Structure 1
Amino acid sequence: MERELIEGIAIIQRSKCKEIVLRSLNNGIKMPSKISKETKISIHHVSRYLKQLKEKNLVICLNEDYKQGRLYKITELGKEVLEHI
């Protein structure tokens, strides 16, 4: 199993909230505010989790240059992580 996948599985298994955020993105492209409403996780925490997931290449931001209205999408690695947990 490749290192990136193992690290992704580890980061998700350490935090149920990160798993919930990642699973939310598995249903489509979303803004942090929508993820927050769907999951009942505060927008502050959703934003922090998205940053950490992005650092591990589990999600990508589609419009990084926007200050508001950023859209996030799960990556293929993120989908593979979900299959293994």
Structure 2
Amino acid sequence: MSPDWDVVGYVISSDHRTLVLGRLAEGPATPTQIANDVELSVTHVSRALKSLRERDLVELLVPEERRKGRVYGITEQGQEAWQLIQAKDLSK
């Protein structure tokens, strides 16, 4: 499968998306955990998660109805994009 450069370009065009995807590549986390780990506000993390979910790069690992304790993880497509970003040294 050839790399999806559109997806890679989408992720790296935002520092917030890059940081959030990179953090989730390390393992599942809540928005608050991600915010603490990458030193962003929870609002920025939530926006990044929403846009990454729309591209099927991250997924919600708990039921959609849950409002507290929402845990997110990286999808296979997200993992592939992150590996390419790392291999080509495209993250800041």
Same fold (TM over 0.5): yes
Aligned length: 83
Q: TM-score, normalization: structure 2?
A: 0.83
RMSD: 1.2
Q: Deviations over 1:22-76 (max 9, x none)?
A: 0100111100000000011000010010000000000000112201110000001
Using the TM superposition, give the Cα deviation of residue 17 of structure 1 relative to its aligned residue in structure 2, in angstroms.
1.7
Which residue pairs with 2:72 in the alignment? 72
Aligned sequence identity (%) = 35
Using the TM superposition, give the Cα deviation of residue 13 of structure 1 relative to its aligned residue in structure 2, in angstroms.
1.7
Q: TM-score, normalization: structure 1?
A: 0.90
Question: Structure 2 stretches of 5 or more lacking a match?
Answer: 86-92
Using the TM superposition, give the Cα deviation of residue 82 of structure 1 relative to its aligned residue in structure 2, in angstroms.
0.9
Name the amino acid aligned to 1:81: A
1:23-42 residue pairs with structure 2 within 5 A?
23-42=22-41
User: How many Å separate the matches in 1 of 2:76 and 2:17?
Assistant: 16
Runs of 4+ aligned residues of structure 1 deviating over 3 Å after TM superposition are: none
Which residue pairs with 2:90 in the alignment? none
User: How many Å separate the matches in 1 of 2:13 and 2:5?
Assistant: 12
User: How many Å separate the matches in 1 of 2:21 and 2:66?
Assistant: 21
Name the amino acid aligned to 2:32: S
Using the TM superposition, give the Cα deviation of residue 7 of structure 1 relative to its aligned residue in structure 2, in angstroms.
3.1
